[in-house]
Amino acid sequence: MNSLTQSCRVLLLCAVLVAIAVPAHGQSKTAAMNTEQLTAQSDVVVAGKVAGLVSEWNAKHDRIQTRVTVSVDQSMKGNAAGSAITVLVPGGEVDGVGEWYSHSVSFQNNEDVVLFAKQESGHYRVVGGEAGKLSVQRDEKTGAKFIPHMGSLEEFSKNIVRISKAQSSGQIKN
């Protein structure tokens, strides 16, 4: 194999590695960077369990949307009326027709989540796309809930409450 062919292969391999590494770095930076922004833009921030998913056509019958009901265990910001909150997310599947959007948040039944949501046109919508929903897991040994790569749910909740109070009092600008 000549040196030009080998150099081309090395350059191609480097380009592929850079292409893979850049999105991964960008995703982790976005989630960490946006906690204060997500809190500021949200009317409610809650922790709970996905209790139901219902996909449907919108009123014009030109888009599919999914109503996601989350039973609220903890309200960190705002008044999550009642014991559940329903958010409307784009996409879903109805009668064998599927519609999916890149960077749109997805949910699974019985999934434990933290949800950042804003009320728009009479419905709650997830703030910040994928960053507005965090999956919560449970430590098998201790039973404590945690958010992967972010820490315990308890500490995260305290931080959201602190941020929300600081934003309300003007200590942190929105």
- Quote the pLDDT of residue 123: 92
pLDDT value at position 79? 86
Residue 153 pLDDT: 97
Q: What is the pTM of this model?
A: 0.77
Model pLDDT for residues 47-68, shown as the tens digit of each residue? 999 999 999 999 999 999 999 9
Spell out, as residue ranges, where the chain has pLDDT lower than 70. 1-33, 81, 173-174
Give the span between the Cα atoms of 11 and 25, in whole angstroms. Answer: 21
pLDDT at 174 (0 to 100): 57
- Look up the CATH number of domain 42-137: 2.40.50.120
Which pLDDT score, from 0 to 100, does residue 170 have?
84
| pLDDT at residue 27, as a whole number | 38
**Which sequence spans correspond to the domains of the chain?**
42-137
Tokens describing residue 112: 């434990």
Rounded Cα gap, residues 115 and 93, in angstroms: 22
- pLDDT value at position 173? 66
CA gap 169, 16 in Å, rounded: 48
- Interval 116-136: pLDDT, tens: 999 998 899 999 999 999 999
Q: Is 9 buried (19+), middle (13-18) or exposed (0-12) by CB count in 10 A?
A: exposed
